[in-house]
Amino acid sequence: MIRAIVVDDEQLALRHMVKKLQSIMTVEVVGSFLNARDVLKEMNNLDFNVVFLDIEMPGLSGLDLADLINDWNKDIFIVFVTAYRDYAVQAFELHSIDYLLKPIMSERLEKTIFRIQEQLEMQSLQKTDAPLTSNALKIICFKEFAVYYHNTPVKWKTGKVKELFAFFITNLQEPIHRDTIIETLWHDVEYQKAKIQLHTSISYLRKTLDSMGYPNAITFSNGSYVLEIKNFQCDAHQFEQIITNHPQITDRNIDMFEDIVLHYNGDYLENNGYEWALVKAHAIRHKLLHLLQMMIDFFSDRDLLNKKQQYLQLLVSLNPYSEHAVQQLMRFYMEAGNRGEAVKVFHEMKDLLNEDLGILPDQSTTELYDSILKG
């Protein structure tokens, strides 16, 4: 969301610009001002990322105000608005993102908004999607749980301490009742003994976290424990964060999505045998399959057939029982003139379904196969 303030010493022009911006779904106007001094008084209390700024104002001009805003926060985008074309060179020397001439045309304003959205997306990629090696604490959750501090594997006092940390990471910053932890990790141990083992494991885990620079990371209140740590990297957390922050695939972020798919080399805690992790594993796998379908559609729209084939094959390998995925791959091979591969994909699925589940492919898949055979 673009959060904007508008500054113009002409009341009518100010209202006109605010109204135009409010008509755009992706823009929220969080403040409007008739002079620069009021902006300077209030800007510490406002959450904004763009300022639409009139240049010709009495007292402190728009150009002067832009200088001060840049000094205060270089991430704020400046859009100059003026009736005088002669200011254009000065405006762009101040690194403004755009320059609008009055009267403001809706089509021209929409182009400016689109440009701002692109830049905000790039900022988001740079700030929130840091590489996995950027912090001292690195946590791997895909396939096998592993923790590294300064690239050295963390040594756990016991296997239960390691599992406890994995459980906390899975429920990061969420209060977990002591009895829930006991029922999950010590379900086969008598309650009083399990309680002692939990306290012992908590103590060991706290000491390990303290040694890595995370003092008081585990707190206890109202019968519940909470793990709160920051400045760490985790492949699974990064995967979910990127998908949440970027619901659409674009030409600018496709490389990032390919990278997180590359890091997915196994299901969440797959090799650890933690039954409690299965729900999380299924949820993340579902997100991955949805992402792969989005990537396939993206590459299909751009006629990038090699990429489309690569991710179709990956989708089928990760979800081999999916009739929809298999049908897509069969159609792809057929359209590429490779009928043999299309037939092979069908028989591989047929054999798998028969061997594992004792069933045959759906009628729609069989009909597609018959149409391929007929050419």
Tell how strand 98-101 and strand 137-140 pair up.
Answer: unpaired
pLDDT of residue 179: 97
Given pLDDT bands bounded at 50, 70 and 90, which one contains residue 129? Answer: very low
CATH 3.40.50.2300 is right for the domain spanning 2-128 = yes
Residue recorded with tokens 């049908």 = 327
Average pLDDT, the chain: 91
Record the pTM. Answer: 0.65
Q: Is the pLDDT of residue 364 over 90?
A: yes
Report the share of the chain in percent with pLDDT over 90: 76
- List, for residues 281-332, the tens digit of each pLDDT value: 999 999 999 999 999 999 999 999 999 999 999 999 999 999 999 999 999 9
- List, for residues 224-278, the tens digit of each pLDDT value: 999 999 889 999 999 999 999 899 999 889 999 999 999 999 999 999 999 999 9
pLDDT of residue 84: 72
Residue 2 β-bridge partners: 27
CATH code of the region 243-374: 1.25.40.10
pLDDT of residue 130: 45
- List, for residues 41-90, the tens digit of each pLDDT value: 999 899 999 999 998 889 898 888 988 998 898 889 999 988 876 655 45
pLDDT of residue 25: 86
3-state secondary structure of 294: helix
- List, for residues 83-109, the tens digit of each pLDDT value: 876 655 455 445 578 888 888 999 899
3-state secondary structure of 2: strand
Q: Give the separation between CA 58 and CA 264, rounded to whole angstroms.
A: 58
Given pLDDT bands bounded at 50, 70 and 90, which one contains residue 35? Answer: very high
Return the higher-pLDDT residue of 114 and 326: 326
3-state secondary structure of 3: strand
Residue recorded with tokens 């911006």 = 21
Q: Where are the domains of the chain?
A: 2-128, 137-232, 243-374
pLDDT of residue 123: 67
pLDDT of residue 150: 92
Q: Are 20 and 110 in contact (CB under 8 A)?
A: no
pLDDT of residue 115: 84
CATH topology of domain 137-232: Arc Repressor Mutant, subunit A (1.10.10)
pLDDT of residue 372: 93
Q: Is the pLDDT of residue 369 over 70?
A: yes
pLDDT of residue 134: 45
Angle made by CA atoms 156, 162, 166, in degrees to the nearest 5: 145
Q: Is the pLDDT of residue 192 over 90?
A: yes
What's the order of all strands across the beta sheet hosting 98-101? 27-33, 2-7, 50-54, 77-82, 98-101
